[in-house]
Amino acid sequence: MLEIAYAEVETPMGMIGVMADPYVVRRIYFVQSSADLKRSLVHDCPGWQNLHQNDLTNQSVAQLNEFFSAQRSVFTLPLSTESFSWFARRVYSALANVPYGQVITYGALARLAGSPGAARAVGTIMAKNPFPVVVPCHRVVRGNGQLGNYSGGFGAVTKQHLIELESRHASRFAGDSAGYSA
């Protein structure tokens, strides 16, 4: 039986839960409470053993805290991506090239991923992002400049706050590698 650990971190955007096995982060959740996180864990990983934290959840919490205090622009967490389709892998790889503090449209991200005209498919992948904040889907906006939807936290309000947080501190990280590193 795989030991699944979890941890919670209170952020300016609300509570975030992290689920990890000993090797990879399996999921990041925006949650309302500890009970919500545990329900999500039971749903996503039936039979999980109640190991509260491990080194990877502790590392995830530390990196999230650093991000929200503008001390980190790139995450270096091993992520569970084995269930991603080839197209999702290409989209997330292209997203990793969008620098902290900048945004890109769904259409432009589709072009970067090598699939011009696949903006809606990119939107679907962003909506299913299992690693919000760490994989910065909040940086992807509509072609008309409107925010669009966001599946984490309080939806578009959370997306706007994340974009503003990065915009305020982008100059601090100029020259850093873009996106995230898995």
Residues identified as active-site? 137
Question: CB atoms < 10 A from the CB of 165, how many?
Answer: 19
Residue 167 to residue 170: CA distance in whole angstroms: 5
- Amino acid (1-letter code) at residue 42: V
For 28, 104, 157, the CA distances from 80, given in Å and listed in that order, are 11, 24, 27
For 50, 109, 139, 179, the CA distances from 136, given in Å and listed in that order, are 29, 12, 6, 7
